[in-house]
């Protein structure tokens, strides 16, 4: 689906604040509230916007310990690894990637011990050949 400049501007505004009112969005993109509402409905109907999510304040998550976990998957085991990772609450995101590793999990826990245990569980999942993890020290910015 091709998106014009107005659609792109709406999506950028929603990335910053998905709860912004339609009237405020309309002011930001220079269109009427009715036009913006129609565009949002069209973007939702076509699956461009699949939902609106909660993003917690950095201060609230300040105590959390997070890591990127690179995962090497055995041939034809991607679905099994995905299902096992989905069942692990500490895995917040899972991406398939190109390169030496096949997937990257973003894991989050309340303390180092919990994160360490989660990384160990990822490494023990059927179909995982090896992992490599990096603790996130600081987030410089997030969009």
| Strand residue runs (E) in 22-121 | 65-73, 91-96, 103-109
In the block, residue with structure tokens 């910053």? 16
Counting as low any pLDDT under 70, the low residues of the chain are 1, 56-62, 143
User: How many residues belong to the chain?
Assistant: 143
The pLDDT score that the predictor gives to residue 60 is 60
pLDDT for res 63: 72
What does the pLDDT read at residue 88? 95
Closest C-alpha among 68, 122, 58 to residue 93: 68
User: Hey, how many other C-beta atoms are within 10 angstroms of the C-beta on 96?
Assistant: 13
Structure tokens at 68: 């990127």
Residue 39: what pLDDT? Answer: 95
């Amino acid at each position: 689906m091709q998106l014009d400049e107005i659609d792109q501007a709406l999506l950028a505004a929603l990335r910053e604040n998905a709860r912004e009112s339609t009237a405020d969005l309309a002011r930001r993109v220079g269109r009427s509230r009715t036009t913006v509402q129609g565009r949002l409905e069209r973007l939702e109907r076509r699956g461009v916007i699949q939902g609106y999510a909660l993003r917690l304040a950095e201060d609230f998550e300040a105590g959390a310990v997070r890591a990127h976990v690179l995962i090497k998957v055995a041939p034809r085991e991607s679905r099994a690894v995905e299902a096992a990772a989905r069942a692990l609450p500490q895995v917040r995101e899972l991406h398939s990637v190109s390169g030496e590793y096949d997937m990257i999990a973003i894991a989050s826990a309340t303390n180092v011990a919990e994160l360490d245990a989660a990384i160990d569980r990822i490494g023990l999942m059927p179909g995982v050949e090896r992992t490599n993890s990096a603790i996130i020290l600081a987030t410089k910015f997030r969009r």
